[in-house]
Chain A
């Protein structure tokens, strides 16, 4: 299946530091989405990057996509304690079916 695989599985940093999470996938995609899940909550959409884009920014988020390596990265700059959550990538194929990986658990210490 087209499941995204996030790396690392867990990341622990201090407030103010940058956090980088990586995602790899297996086959061609139309786009790739990133979601965040706070503990005990549903997933929330963060950002979408299309297959013809290489980089996209949204506030403190920066997403890159390398279709030749079938990989994406999510960078959160100047992290805050409120960024503590699980982050999932979801490669999207021809229609709206998303396939989520296991996620990266990010802990930001005040």
Chain B
């Protein structure tokens, strides 16, 4: 099993450009999450999905959109990138939504917006 994979690993954008980050998991997990990690801020939840075809807002959803067309994939889109979106983005998945579930994290995508 590859677990949770993220594409790309690094990306540099100019302000106003758009891009999509791809997260894929091969563990048949129902729940998937997108976080961003900034120095001194910990991880903050951007959006999450409780199953195929569903999405919901997390703590910091503004400026991002997501889609979960297939159970194994969770896409994070930036329609018009801003320097404030420079961050490391992590995707995670968990089997169900139970509070005892372990979240499995991908290796991260380092995004710089100039």
How many B residues, CB 8 Å from partner?
27
Quick check: B42 and A42 within 8 Å, CB to CB?
no
Given A31-B100, A95-B98, A96-B98, verify A41-B108 contact (CB < 8 Å): yes
Number of A-B contacts (CB under 8 A): 60
Q: Is B74 an interface residue (CB 8 A)?
A: no
Residues of chain A with a CB closer than 8 A to B103's CB: 35, 43, 45, 96, 98
Alpha-carbon distance A100/B63, docked complex (angstroms)? 21
- A42 to B, closest residue via Cβ: B105
When the two chains form the complex, which single residue of A1, A42, A95 contacts B90, counting CB atoms closer than 8 Å? A42
Instruction: Looking at the assembled complex, report how far the CB atom of B22 sits from the nearest CB atom of chain A, in whole angstroms.
Output: 15
B101 in contact (CB, < 8 A) = yes
Residue ranges of A at the interface with B (Cβ–Cβ < 8 Å):
1, 3, 30-31, 33, 35, 40-45, 48, 50, 88, 92-103
Top 4 nearest A-B pairs by Cβ distance? A42-B105, A30-B99, A92-B99, A96-B97
